[in-house]
Structure 1
Amino acid sequence: MALVETRSIDYVPLRERHGKVWHLWPVWFTGDAHLATLATGAISVAAGLSLFWSAIAVLGGCALGTVLMAFHCTQGPHLGLPQMIQSRPQFGYLGALLVWVVALVTYIGFNALNQTLAADTLKELAGFPHGPTVIVFSLVAVAVAVIGYDLIHLAQRWLAYAMLAVLAVYTVGAFGIVDLGKLLAPGEFRATPFLVQFFAAAAYQLSWSIYVSDYSRYLPKDVGIRESFFWTFWGAFVGGAWMMLVGTFAYAAFATPDGIIAALRDSSDAIFPGFGVVMLVTSFLGLITITSLNFYGASLTLLSVMDSLTSVQLGVKARVLSLFTVFTAAVSLSLVVSGNVLHGFEAFLGVLGYLFTPWTAINLVDFFFVRKGRYSIRAMFMADGLYGKWNWRGLVSYAVGFAAMIPFFKTGLYTGPVATALGRADISMLVGLPVSAGVYLYLCRNLNLQAEQEQIAVLDRNLETEPVR
């Protein structure tokens, strides 16, 4: 492999496949074990729910979201394509723009938040100024993304070892600094904060689904579904749940007006003096790499959007140009808006999560139950090809699933009647997933898969010897 990754959204031929399936574990363990995950675990404790019930909500929500995310990851080795390109068979060459634009906004928004969080952390540690910190942090993150897939995997593996060590020390040390028997007393069960925490954790884990295949697409094609699912699930579940539970514990035992980062530092220093700095620095390094993952995924999504609208010469140049486009957008957003506005934008990004629930259901049902992994790689890059410009089955299923979720929404702008009746708890994910999946299965009952398979055999007969584009 070249030092700088040469491919972008194009197909990865079998001769270029490399890596081991267990490498997925550290990618997603470290992808979750960082400062941005920490606050997710403190939501219900801050609302007055006990540590015991908050921990159960975190574990249950993480399990639900990670199962869906891990199934998406299995598509990467099989198809050798980024996650978003795989949406074209379900929604059409142009219809897939619906989820791609939302994904692009999400990437940029979350990186703006990551950059602000990084600046706040370095200000806490060393008093660094906000603006220069955001720029330097972002340059380091985008440099990793420029080099690409292999460096991201390598960095995640080394950071996984460090995070395993500090999280183990923190967890063991926690038993000695508080009365866990008292702190873990169940207390009163309160349905609303429990459900809020459960679905916040689930949505957080589900958010990886939009680019999880980007980091498995270079693996050999003979990697089994069980193996890729296993290593992805346990990496993301352990990293996400563990880091969220650290946030739950830190806020429950060391709540402070200065926020969750200060609570993490105070609780770490209570284990032994100076450990707070170690914990923050290690988690901060994880924040750099997850920002790199977001930049990398955003660049591939931007290229997918451009490829649908005009002819694009794929390759390293296009990927780097798209990287610096999303870099400029994210840094500008982080620099020009205030902390309060960023907090509001974070809530807006949470709303965007509603838009991914129908997509994940349709994409997974199509892959595992309708087409069963049988796709034409070449047809995904043809504007008037096998999958058409607009796939009415996917678009209708998406619209029906999204509409079914609306009464269950809870946002700053709108709370649905069902959410109000449930005490303002948002369970829309449990509605959107089965409705979207069921409608899509029903609409695909007369899809002529035999004719489609005959065309695939012709279209992809020289896939490994002739360029896709």
Structure 2
Amino acid sequence: MQTESTAVKGSSNEQSTIEGRSIDFVPEHERTDKLSSQGPFWFVGNFTFFTMTIGFVGPSVGLDSIWTTVAGTLGIMFGTLFMAFHGSQGPHLGLPQMIQSRAQFDYRGVVLVLIATLFVFAGFNIVNLVLMMQGLKTLFSWDPMQVALAVTLPATILAILGHDWMHKTFKWSLYLSLPLYGLVTLAVLMGWVQDAPVIKGAVPETPLGFNWTGFIAQFAAAASYNIAYAPYVSDYSRYLPKNTSSSKLITAVFLGASLSGAWMISVGGWLASHLHTTDVLVALNAVGAGFAPHLGTVVVAITILAFLPVIAMNIYSAKLTAITSIDSFKKIEPTAKARVVAIIFVVCLQLGVAMSIYNSGSGLSVLNIYLVVMLYFLVPWTAVNLTDYFFVRRGRYAIPHFFLPHDNIYGRWGTRGLLSYLVGFMAMVPFFCIFDGSREVFVGPIAQAMGSVDLAWLVGLIVSSIVYYLSCRSLNLHHEEAVIAHIEINMPEYTTGNKRRA
């Protein structure tokens, strides 16, 4: 596959193994990805030990493994809907997701949501690193900084190599993780884990069952986990041909991401409720040790090795966001050099924050809070973006204007998008429900009156969508359509593949 393996700017005409594109438009002749790769790609993205950790949320708030499975499955399916619909934008526009957001928030206004999404991309890796440092310190007394560097370095190289290499390594990750987690799942179903050795660091057993607060908390954690993929998906679907069927792509992304997510959350909920530990790597080590004395170490090693492409994916999308942020104020040439510099910046940021959190002694508590806050930041953006794409502009965009700092039809500060985001976010605040385990961090007044049931995400989705749709009634779509038609006649490579507006 030679989608991004074009010669790097300034090099010879020979192809380079390092990706040459960053935030720029992908021409049709480079879009040689296949629809069949999307389902497996997103299946592997959720087929990780970190997804198991989402299943630890339920038992931490009083749910047993069955109710954790139910709440987690429903939540992951709900969140994946938004993720999958975002994925359909990639082939039709040939752009990274956050560049397309300039249509709603405009050239500079998009920085607000870019900060939120950078928090998501970098935050995922920060939490991942903290969990790995804690788990390997508990199991093998390994130095946390050495663990962080050993994991981050190969992932950084993979992110620098780019899109094609990540697709290849995701395939190898599937070959490694499928038999591994198949064995873990079999051990859970057959009850073999009951004979696992006593876990170091296990917490006292507490009665588990059902409660609405815990159910909604687990649902929201699972939903936010895949809603958080929404800013990623177009980054990895933009190399599909523009005539790719939207319905087939949405189905492929949905099935891939939701099936593996529900599977891993269910296993995680069982491990947390039966082994009474808050560390998923410790639990996986116990499962392996239940089969053979040293098999636990092998399980942990393969778990981390199979996870490296996911860390690379977070770095890759974070650097796209960082470049877009800077480009919104100072024009950047989208070269391989810009990508490498942005990647180094993102990696240094992640390492510094991860070490700080690790030294604070906060592990699963940081994960619980992070997932909920991440959902709060992303919900207004996904509501605005999807409303614009499917109901306002209906996929019709002047692609060259996304890269014009001046004189573009979208402007510099998108009042409609920014207002809708802020109104939606503010409407959520009274419904906020943030807990550290059973300890209340912040619960809004309406959430308190409802018994600490978290419905803030639902409020944000509804309010931001309605405000944006109504505010766009004054939008001059006829002028935009005239500009788009002119572009399609004079620069046919920028056609979106969508039908013209009636």
TM-score (norm 2): 0.86
| Aligned: 1:353 with 2:381 | no
Task: Give the root-mean-square deviation of aligned CA atoms.
Answer: 2.3
Residue aligning to 1:362: 384
Encode CA deviations 1:222-276: one digit per residue, 9 max, x unaligned.
11111111111111111211111111011122113x6332223223433565543
Q: Which moved more, 1:32-41 or 1:194-203?
A: 32-41
| Aligned: 1:71 with 2:85 | yes
Which of these residues, 434, 446, 461, is aligned with residue 474 of structure 2?
A: 446
Residue aligning to 1:148: 162
CA distance in 2, matches of 1:433, 1:46: 27
Q: Is the 8 A contact 1:30 1:286 kept in 2?
A: no
AA at the equivalent of 2:170:
Q
AA at the equivalent of 2:225:
Y
Q: How does 1:227-266 map to 2 (within 5 A)?
A: 227-256=248-277, 259-266=279-286
Residue aligning to 2:449: 421
Q: How far off is 1:349 after superposition? A: 6.1
Q: Is the 8 A contact 1:39 1:244 kept in 2?
A: yes
| Aligned: 1:128 with 2:142 | yes
CA distance in 2, matches of 1:148, 1:394: 31
Residue aligning to 1:286: 306
Q: Is the 8 A contact 2:104 2:417 kept in 1?
A: yes
Q: How far off is 1:116 after superposition? A: 2.5
Encode CA deviations 1:4-38: one digit per residue, 9 max, x unaligned.
11000000000111111121122211211222222
Q: How does 1:88-167 map to 2 (within 5 A)?
A: 88-124=102-138, 126-167=140-181
Residue aligning to 2:329: 309
| Aligned: 1:209 with 2:230 | yes
Give the structure with the higher percent helix.
Answer: 1
Q: Is the 8 A contact 2:107 2:413 kept in 1?
A: yes
Q: How far off is 1:325 after superposition? A: 1.0
Residue aligning to 1:437: 465
Which of these residues, 216, 219, 222, is aligned with residue 243 of structure 2?
A: 222
CA distance in 2, matches of 1:67, 1:272: 41
CA distance in 2, matches of 1:321, 1:101: 18
Residue aligning to 1:269: 289
Residue aligning to 2:417: 394
Encode CA deviations 1:70-90: one digit per residue, 9 max, x unaligned.
111111111110011111111
> Structure 1 residues 126, 413: closer, same or farther in 2, change over 3 A?
closer
SS of residue paired to 1:208: coil
Encode CA deviations 1:389-415: one digit per residue, 9 max, x unaligned.
122221221122112111110236431
AA at the equivalent of 2:473:
R
Identity over aligned pairs, percent: 37
What 5-or-longer segments of structure 2 have no aligned partner? 6-16, 195-207, 435-439, 495-502
Q: Is the 8 A contact 1:13 1:464 kept in 2?
A: no
CA distance in 1, matches of 2:149, 2:135: 14
| Aligned: 1:323 with 2:337 | no
Q: Is the 8 A contact 2:65 2:266 kept in 1?
A: no
Q: Is the 8 A contact 2:39 2:256 kept in 1?
A: yes
SS of residue paired to 2:482: helix
CA distance in 1, matches of 2:352, 2:392: 43
Q: Which moved more, 1:404-413 or 1:261-270?
A: 261-270
SS of residue paired to 1:4: coil
SS of residue paired to 1:314: coil
Q: Is the 8 A contact 1:58 1:198 kept in 2?
A: yes
Q: Which moved more, 1:206-215 or 1:44-53?
A: 44-53
Q: Which moved more, 1:246-255 or 1:114-123?
A: 114-123
CA distance in 2, matches of 1:443, 1:369: 13
Which of these residues, 54, 57, 61, is aligned with residue 47 of structure 1?
A: 61
Q: How does 1:453-468 map to 2 (within 5 A)?
A: 453-463=481-491
Q: Which moved more, 1:21-30 or 1:305-314?
A: 21-30
AA at the equivalent of 1:425:
V
Encode CA deviations 1:412-458: one digit per residue, 9 max, x unaligned.
64311122123223121111111111121112223222221111122
What 5-or-longer segments of structure 1 have no aligned partner? 181-186
Q: How far off is 1:286 after superposition? A: 3.3
> Structure 1 residues 24, 342: closer, same or farther in 2, change over 3 A?
farther
Q: Which moved more, 1:42-51 or 1:75-84?
A: 42-51
Q: Which moved more, 1:270-279 or 1:233-242?
A: 270-279
SS of residue paired to 2:242: coil
AA at the equivalent of 1:194:
F
Q: Is the 8 A contact 2:130 2:357 kept in 1?
A: no
CA distance in 1, matches of 2:60, 2:26: 46
SS of residue paired to 2:142: coil
